[in-house]
Amino acid sequence: MTDDQIAFQRRFYDQHFAKRAAAVAEQLAHPLLRSFNDRVAARIYDIGGGPRPTERVLEVGCGDGLLAASLRSVAASRGVTLAYTGLDLSEASMDLARPHVVGDLLAGDAAELLGAMAGGSQDIVVAKNLLHHLDDPAGFLREAGRMVGRAGRVVIFEPNLTCPQFLFFNVLAPQRERHYFKGRRRNVQALADAGLRVERTEQFGWLPYELAFVIRYPVFRRLFKTGRPATLDRTARVDARLTRSLPLLASYCVWSAAPAS
């Protein structure tokens, strides 16, 4: 990103995360949101080139650590040791993540931080809701591919352009989300330009978990707070069925990619 864009993004997210302290604790404990993040984490491991007894996972744009918490709990449930590193532009996000994230947390520009890391030092590099913030996604993906080497995988979750919840919110923030409106083709081209071979493409998630549960306002979290296992399982199955049936309205397009050579 340009210096001006980096400064803009940092200012926004420092202000954004500073307001989320109370919400993060509530979100970590929310059964439906936690079940969604656990499913995201499980999918990352499933398409991340494993299984391995130890997973070295680098999450770029880790935010307040909600996904990091699920990456750890899902790894533990599978008998896997997680060696986690999280990167984010915002120092305020690190302050929120540190109490519940086990691993290394680094604040700064992704390109600079990755450039200082050793190649082949990670098994999985995951970026969720990140590419559409970057002016040069291919440059980031090239570094991500260097991080994982031939045996690892780069896993990307990007919001679908045709997803109503993301479209609504991103229209309200055109400067911050401007690359989102370039859609899926931009991400596919960036993967190719970075020398990555796409091994899997799929849609993920249909119900508006992040619209309802990740926003700062607690009304939906309090309304849909059931923790009954049967309800959580049924909701996950409905979500998966809707994603298969109506993929254009799914929340995310997901790619798993490896260095082409």
- Domains of the chain, by residue range, sit at 3-259
Name the residue with higher pLDDT: 141 or 50. 141
Q: 32-36, 208-212, 231-235, 246-250: which has the minimum mean pLDDT?
A: 208-212
Assigned architecture for domain 3-259? 3-Layer(aba) Sandwich (3.40)
Parallel, antiparallel, or unpaired for β 81-88 and 153-159? unpaired
Q: What token pair was written down for 33? A: 């949101």
- pLDDT per position as a tens digit, 181-214: 999 999 999 999 999 999 999 999 999 998 888 8
pLDDT-derived band at 256 (thresholds 50, 70, 90) equals very high
pLDDT-derived band at 91 (thresholds 50, 70, 90) equals confident
The CB density around residue 67, as the number of other CB atoms within 10 Å, is 24
Parallel, antiparallel, or unpaired for β 196-204 and 252-259? antiparallel
Kindly list the distances between the CA atom of residue 249 and the CA atoms of 39, 54, 163, 207, in Å, as whole numbers in the listed order: 18, 35, 5, 9
Q: Is the pLDDT of residue 14 over 80?
A: no
pLDDT-derived band at 74 (thresholds 50, 70, 90) equals very high
Q: Which pTM does this prediction carry?
A: 0.92
What is the arithmetic mean of pLDDT over 48-71?
A: 95
pLDDT-derived band at 12 (thresholds 50, 70, 90) equals low
- The DSSP 8-state label assigned to residue 131 in this structure reads G
Kindly list the distances between the CA atom of residue 225 and the CA atoms of 36, 147, 209, in Å, as whole numbers in the listed order: 13, 39, 12
- pLDDT per position as a tens digit, 137-193: 999 999 999 999 989 999 999 999 999 989 988 888 877 788 999 999 999 999 999
- pLDDT per position as a tens digit, 104-119: 999 988 888 999 999 9
Residues counted in the chain: 261
Indicate the SS3 state at residue 176.
Answer: coil
In the predicted model, what is the mean pLDDT of the chain? 91
Q: What token pair was written down for 51? A: 């299984």
Residue linked to tokens 């926003």: 215
Give percent helix, percent strand, percent coil of the chain, each to the nearest 5: 50, 20, 30
